[in-house]
């Protein structure tokens, strides 16, 4: 073998080693940073749908690698805000900024989002732009009072039943978090637009997660909203995509129930 032939093999070995080292099996248990056994992993995942559960059980050390990082992230990335879990009427997220200041396209002159979202949001918009897709934000932060007016409007116009499938009650909207946005046009056909298709494929790589996916009304309580994305950070969005079949609600409920167990199991 000549030196030239050897170089690509060496490079391949190096890349493989780098990738694998992130998920190395611990000397004891399933991950060296956690005091957790295979039996614990099986028991903590036993309420999950079978396909999701077997994905985790197959390679628990990789899953735990991500869990370790998620445990250190801001709790706002994973807090449940859904039909059953509300934010208080007085909750206003910190660090709201006008999206327009960051060369991002919006349909409104003044549209706010939390500053922590900006780096990944601008990176995502730029990546889409390079592929000829212009992402436009239609709606972002909404205060409790605004959501109250919006929900009442839908109830008056469409009746309570329809309003509850399409609009959140005050305190129950992810938009109050300041990390959630609706891309434009806010329309059932958004998924057929260039922006909708692009986000569906790539948004998770930038830490954005589709909150109300198709065929998930029994889990989320909302009909499919192809335009509504919540920023959860890149580790959480990876886990939702890779392990939880793109079902944000399932992961957030799982994390809510198990985070204390995982925290306690972390070796100091």
Binding site for Zn ion (CB under 5 A): 182, 228
Closest CB to Zn ion: residue number: 228
Beta partners for residue 231, in sequence order: 208
Nearest residue (CB) to Zn ion, 34 versus 77: 77
DSSP labels, 151-196? HHHHHHHH-HHHHHHHSPPTT--GGGGTSEEEESS-SGGGGGSHHH
Nearest residue (CB) to Zn ion, 12 versus 153: 153
CB of 182 to Zn ion, least distance (A): 4
CB of 37 to Zn ion, least distance (A): 41
CB of 230 to Zn ion, least distance (A): 9
CB of 228 to Zn ion, least distance (A): 4
Nearest C-alpha neighbor of 165 from the set 109, 91, 115, 225? 225
Residues 19 and 237: their CA atoms lie apart, in Å, by: 19
Nearest residue (CB) to Zn ion, 60 versus 138: 138
CB of 225 to Zn ion, least distance (A): 6
Nearest residue (CB) to Zn ion, 29 versus 196: 196
Q: Extract the runs of DSSP E, i.e. beta strands, from the chain.
A: 96-98, 105-106, 112-114, 136-139, 180-183, 208-210, 228-231
Please provide the size of the chain in residues: 268
Nearest residue (CB) to Zn ion, 29 versus 93: 93
Beta partners for residue 97, in sequence order: 113
CB of 146 to Zn ion, least distance (A): 12
Residues 157 and 163: their CA atoms lie apart, in Å, by: 8
Look-up: residue for tokens 């167990």? 261
Q: List the structure tokens of 171.
A: 């305190």
Nearest residue (CB) to Zn ion, 182 versus 253: 182
């Amino acid at each position: 073998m000549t030196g030239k032939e050897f170089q690509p093999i060496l490079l391949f070995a190096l890349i493989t080693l780098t990738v694998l080292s992130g998920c190395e099996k611990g000397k004891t248990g399933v991950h060296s940073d956690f005091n957790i056994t295979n039996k614990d992993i099986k028991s903590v995942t036993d309420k999950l749908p079978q396909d999701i559960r077997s994905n985790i059980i197959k390679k628990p050390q990789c899953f735990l690698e991500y869990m370790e990082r998620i445990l250190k992230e801001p709790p706002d990335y994973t807090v449940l805000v859904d039909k059953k879990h509300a934010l208080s009427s007085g909750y206003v997220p910190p660090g709201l900024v006008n999206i327009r200041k960051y060369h991002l396209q919006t349909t409104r002159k003044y549209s706010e989002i939390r500053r922590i979202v900006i780096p990944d949001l601008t990176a995502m918009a730029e990546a889409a732009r390079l592929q000829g897709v212009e992402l436009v934000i239609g709606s972002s932060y909404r205060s409790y009072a605004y959501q109250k007016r919006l929900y009442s409007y839908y109830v008056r116009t469409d009746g309570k039943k329809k309003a509850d499938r399409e609009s959140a009650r005050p305190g129950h909207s992810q938009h109050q978090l300041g990390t959630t946005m609706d891309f434009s046009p806010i329309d059932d056909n958004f998924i057929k637009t260039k922006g909708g298709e692009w986000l569906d494929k790539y948004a998770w790589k930038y830490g954005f997660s589709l909150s109300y996916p198709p065929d998930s009304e029994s889990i989320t309580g909302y009909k499919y909203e192809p335009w509504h994305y919540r920023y959860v950070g890149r580790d959480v969005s990876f886990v939702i995509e890779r392990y939880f079949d793109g079902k944000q609600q399932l992961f957030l409920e799982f994390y809510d129930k198990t985070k204390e167990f995982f925290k306690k199991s972390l070796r100091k």
